[in-house]
Structure 1
Amino acid sequence: MEALTPRPIQARDLQSWLQDDRPDPLLVDVREDAELDLARFPADVLHWPLSRSDAWLESVPQQMADGRPVVVICHAGVRSLHLGLWLLQQMPELEVWNLEGGIDAWSVHVDSSVPRY
């Protein structure tokens, strides 16, 4: 059986998705509080810091219940990839995307007002 992996999405493609007529994806940001304080993603996100997974782990099935596509975000795209892999292991029916390059790529390619760190 082939392992499920999140689909990659570039920052500009995510920007287009958020601006077009399609329903918005569920955005999940796995960065820590201090990282969000430095550079917030400019849209509503579920904040699931990986270091505090005990606080949100039980709510994952309910949060995913509406079947929307999920885009996972972190600083550079590595931690979000790991969460995306985990989500697909738990719920293979999900459509999971990983923001390649994370919030840093968003700052470089989409919105330079989002600070780089």
Structure 2
Amino acid sequence: MAIPQDDHGRRGERPVNKTALCLHFLLFVLLALSAWAMPRGPFVLVVTHPNDPPQKAISLIAAAGGSFVGSGGLPWISLAHANSEDFPARLLRAGALLVLNASLSAACSQESLK
């Protein structure tokens, strides 16, 4: 009795759907990056709208009860500090577009040096 084979000569194996494999890999990478970028600790990166003046970031950090530490390589990215655990949520309510892990600041700085 002969075992049926597909066009590729493999027995009982289904062909790999490369599109589905790529989409699953992309989803995994996005989930890993988002977990890494989640704000943790007292220092966070605050991203405001690129068209807003730098003073906007300083005012919304103050409105959220934090301290302005410094600006990133771009005027709409700032480093902020507060000891409160709900500081990232307060920054978002005050008008920040994104609040990210402060370790991204070091990664961005190293990338710009290359």
Q: Decide: shared fold, TM above 0.5.
A: no
User: What TM-score, normalized by structure 1, do the two folds share?
Assistant: 0.28
Q: Which gives a bigger RCO, structure 1 or 2 (Cα 8 Å, sep 6+)?
A: 1
TM-score (norm 2): 0.29
Bigger radius of gyration, 1 or 2? Answer: 2
